[in-house]
């Protein structure tokens, strides 16, 4: 089984899609999906904007949205990253650039409950590296988020990115 297949099955089981016909308890179905979608959309925009604020010594503007032990998947592997490792990775990336710009182009959110959502979003990225080279990319992200202590946290993420010509 490939990493992407394992991640997809895990993702579907989290969303309830793996068990068709199963009804949600009444307490879970009584929420405002529009409010959840608006909160998650803003969280994604704030998460992306945090990269422009990250520095070599402080990546908290980005990592504040990550859940401890988040699940990530790339083209070859499914892996779990602790919050401390995520923070270190953000700082390491920030050390390589002079500036980070870009933005979120579109967001689609599916509210699963008052405290769980899936989101698919696209972005463009513009990074001026310390070498003076400009790196521009476009990407798409599939993400699951869970609300804990009134804050939305990213629990799983799959990103596909291409370098712009």
Residue-by-residue DSSP string for 3-61: HHHHHHHHHHHHHTTTSTTPPPPHHHH-S-HHHHHHHHHHHHHHHHHHHHH--SS--HH
Residue 102 resides in a domain: yes
Cα–Cα distance for residue pair 151/149, rounded to 1 Å:
5
* Residue pLDDT tens, the chain, 165 long: 445 444 444 544 444 444 444 454 545 558 999 999 999 999 999 999 999 999 999 999 999 999 888 888 877 888 899 999 999 999 999 999 999 999 999 999 999 999 999 999 999 999 999 999 999 999 999 999 999 999 999 999 999 999 987
Number of separate domains in the chain: 1
Residue 73 resides in a domain: yes
Query: What's 157's domain CATH number?
Result: 3.10.450.50
Residue 108 resides in a domain: yes
Cα–Cα distance for residue pair 151/46, rounded to 1 Å:
12
Q: Which domain holds residue 127?
A: 3-16+32-163
Residue 152 resides in a domain: yes
Residue 157: in which H helix or E strand, if any?
strand 151-163
The three-class DSSP label of residue 77 is coil
Residue 26 resides in a domain: no
**Cα 48 to Cα 4, 12, 14, 19, 125, distances in angstroms:** 24, 25, 24, 33, 9
* In contact, 145 and 153? CB cutoff 8 Å: yes
Residue 23 resides in a domain: no
């Amino acid at each position: 089984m490939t990493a992407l297949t394992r991640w997809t099955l895990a993702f579907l089981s989290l969303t309830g899609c793996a068990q068709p016909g199963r009804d949600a308890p009444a307490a879970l179905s009584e929420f405002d999906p529009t409010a959840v979608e608006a909160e998650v959309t803003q969280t994604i925009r704030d998460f992306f904007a945090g990269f422009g604020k990250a520095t070599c010594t402080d990546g908290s503007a980005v990592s504040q949205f990550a859940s401890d032990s988040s699940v990530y998947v790339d083209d070859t592997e499914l892996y779990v990253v602790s919050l401390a490792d995520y923070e270190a990775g953000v700082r390491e990336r920030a050390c390589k650039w002079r500036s980070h710009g870009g933005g979120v182009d579109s967001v689609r959110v599916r509210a699963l409950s008052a405290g769980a959502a899936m989101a698919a979003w696209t972005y463009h990225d513009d990074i001026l590296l310390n070498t003076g080279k400009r790196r521009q990319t476009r990407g798409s992200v599939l993400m699951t988020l869970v609300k804990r202590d009134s804050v939305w946290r990213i629990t799983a993420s799959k990103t596909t990115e291409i370098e712009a010509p």
